[in-house]
Structure 1
Amino acid sequence: MKDVAQMAGVSITTVSHVVNSTRAVAPETKFRVLDAIERTGYTGDAIARSLVTGGTRSLGVAISLVANPYFGELIQAIEHETTKSGYTLVLTDTHDEQSTEQSAVRTLRSRRVDGLILTPSPRAAGTVLPELKQLGIPMVLVDRLTVGTDFDQVGPENVHSTSALVQHLAELGHKRIGIISGAEGLATTSERVLGYRLGLGRSGLSWDEALVQSGESAAEPAAAALGRLLDLDNPPTAVVAGNNVMLSGVLHEARRRDLKIGRELAVVGYDDVEWADLIDPPITTMAQPIAEIGRTAVRMLLNRIADPTRQPTTARLQPTLMHRNSCGCP
């Protein structure tokens, strides 16, 4: 930046204002700074390049990498589609926390990414989403969808797919079916609980609030949640785990209690896992179309960048039932 300032005959502060758009600079001064940026090779910096070309050819992703291995697979799909489209990917980890999410998004903004893919945290609707909406940044929400939002969004169909898991268990004769639900405030949690309730109704089973226990989208709380279900006076004979992380907690608690999965307790899970068919019995799951979700998110974002005035769209992609033996089927 010092070389740019010397060549343009301005201060380093002026160069900073041109690069970061933090203060108005006279057109002739800005021209000299941009010309110096080109001649010194400072155009290798993504921010400077955006000033010269009007875009960085980069897409930002703000996602919680620690929350769920599912997101790691999602990133792979997003990165592949981004590269194929001639863009680079800038990744930040939100840790599923409000303050970290805000910091991550602002970091991506400072890198002048052309658009943003976000998996919103539980409190994003009241914080970062209004800010991004006001700024008019091209953005796509992934996985955790919000009804009535003004953003493009893509994720799995949660309601009917969870209902299908419950109905399958009911068809096997289970009358007491519990669910380990995810963290409060997440759209995926409320949608899967709604699907659970829908499945009960379609199967002619009554709703019992005691059969819904929060696993907080994590393994240890899920193990504790299964313990609460099994300690009921009238415990469930079948359980739906709300995601793959909670599924592992459910299986650990079942083993601790020496329960035979598929015989003494039927278990099914939302989200498939690579080890689902490696354990005994193999686990029946509802597998999300992760790769297609990632590809669709990138395509949606590029369409939004190309046409900022287009109407927002929501895509819900259908999961696939991976029918194995933990549900009690032979």
Structure 2
Amino acid sequence: PEGPPLVEMNRRSSRRVDWVGYDEDEGARTLAGLLVGAGHHDIAFIGGQPSFSTTRRRLEGYRRALAEAGVEPDPRWVQLRAYSPDWGSEALGRLLALRPAPTAVCASSSELVLGLLTEARRRGLRLPSELSLVAFGKTDWYAVTDPGITTYEQPIEQVAHIAVQLLADRMAGSTADPTTVLVEGRVVERDSVAAPPTGPEPPCGAAI
């Protein structure tokens, strides 16, 4: 491609350039699978901008996990707008107003989790007894919240190292075809997942 050497990390454009990223669809599939395994069927997904490749890949993994479990998600359970605390808070409020309301949420970033936890606390909603939560991000505070957040950790340092190596090769004159490198993350299970609440009223009943 014309112009200075370029290596993309994580989010991917349509340009033919080197790219290094995470196996995010598989990460979302595993996270949603943990919720299914705990007994949940009403599982929501809160994500960022629909135009972002990261959003699309994570959403695809979520949908694939539910399809493999024979679960047909309510389209209203997918809430996409922005990677921000404000949207995390608003999206949770939208989900809790639904009937049926989801019993679990897969959040696509730590910014969304921050807003979601703030809204849950404001409403007096208890995690995980009333709502289970899984999320994306390698974030230290996931380990010290109450409960600790089960997450798909992205190997940021490894991705950055590979990207710098590829960029150095391009700057040295490499004319090889664009390279795609997919780096696996890991799921860290903590205490934010439990069996869905029992009884006639979904978890939002006590929180509205």
Provide TM-score, normalisation by structure 2.
Answer: 0.90
Q: Could you tell me how far apart the structure 2 residues matched to 1:268 and 1:165 are?
A: 6
Q: Could you tell me how far apart the structure 2 residues matched to 1:215 and 1:177 are?
A: 18
Aligned with 1:282 (options 148, 161, 164): 148
The answer on 1:143 being equivalent to 2:10 is yes
Aligned to 1:134: 2
Q: Could you tell me how far apart the structure 2 residues matched to 1:171 and 1:320 are?
A: 18
Give the greater-gyration-radius structure (CA): 1
- The 5-angstrom pairing of residues 302-313 of structure 1 reads 302-313=168-179
Q: Which runs of 5+ in 1 are unaligned?
A: 1-132
Q: Which amino acid aligns with 1:139?
A: L
Indicate if the aligned counterparts of 1:215 and 1:246 stay in contact, CA closer than 8 A. no
Q: Could you tell me how far apart the structure 2 residues matched to 1:167 and 1:193 are?
A: 13
Aligned with 1:154 (options 8, 20, 25): 20
Aligned to 1:256: 122
Indicate if the aligned counterparts of 2:110 and 2:136 stay in contact, CA closer than 8 A. yes
Shift of 1:275: 0.9
Higher relative contact order, structure no. (Cα contacts within 8 Å, ≥ 6 residues apart): 2
Q: Could you tell me how far apart the structure 2 residues matched to 1:194 and 1:278 are?
A: 29
CA distances 1:268-300 after superposition (whole Å, capped 9, x unpaired): 101131111112111101100011011011001
CA distances 1:155-204 after superposition (whole Å, capped 9, x unpaired): 11111110100011000000100010111311101111111111111121
Q: Could you tell me how far apart the structure 2 residues matched to 1:151 and 1:294 are?
A: 16
Q: Could you tell me how far apart the structure 1 residues matched to 2:122 and 2:191 are?
A: 20
The answer on 1:240 being equivalent to 2:106 is yes
Indicate if the aligned counterparts of 1:214 and 1:222 stay in contact, CA closer than 8 A. no
Aligned to 2:203: none
CA RMSD of aligned residues (A): 1.3
Aligned residues: 195
Q: Could you tell me how far apart the structure 1 residues matched to 2:51 and 2:24 are?
A: 15
SS of 2:2's equivalent in the other structure is: helix
The answer on 1:193 being equivalent to 2:193 is no
SS of 1:267's equivalent in the other structure is: strand
Shift of 1:215: 4.5
Percent of residue pairs identical:
34
Q: Could you tell me how far apart the structure 1 residues matched to 2:25 and 2:13 are?
A: 14
The answer on 1:328 being equivalent to 2:194 is yes
Q: Which amino acid aligns with 1:272?
A: K
Shift of 1:143: 1.3
Aligned to 2:37: 171
The answer on 1:217 being equivalent to 2:101 is no
Q: Which runs of 5+ in 2 are unaligned?
A: 196-208
Indicate if the aligned counterparts of 1:285 and 1:321 stay in contact, CA closer than 8 A. yes
Q: Could you tell me how far apart the structure 2 residues matched to 1:146 and 1:164 are?
A: 25
Shift of 1:319: 1.0
Provide TM-score, normalisation by structure 1.
Answer: 0.57
Aligned to 1:183: 49
Q: Could you tell me how far apart the structure 2 residues matched to 1:216 and 1:232 are?
A: 21
SS of 1:298's equivalent in the other structure is: helix
Indicate if the aligned counterparts of 2:138 and 2:153 stay in contact, CA closer than 8 A. yes
SS of 1:150's equivalent in the other structure is: coil
Aligned to 2:95: 229
Shift of 1:134: 3.1
Q: Which structure 1 residue ranges, 4+ long, deviate > 2 Å from structure 2?
A: none
Q: Which amino acid aligns with 1:144?
A: R
Q: Could you tell me how far apart the structure 1 residues matched to 2:67 and 2:50 are?
A: 23
Shift of 1:250: 0.9
Indicate if the aligned counterparts of 2:11 and 2:52 stay in contact, CA closer than 8 A. yes
SS of 2:187's equivalent in the other structure is: strand
Indicate if the aligned counterparts of 2:137 and 2:152 stay in contact, CA closer than 8 A. yes
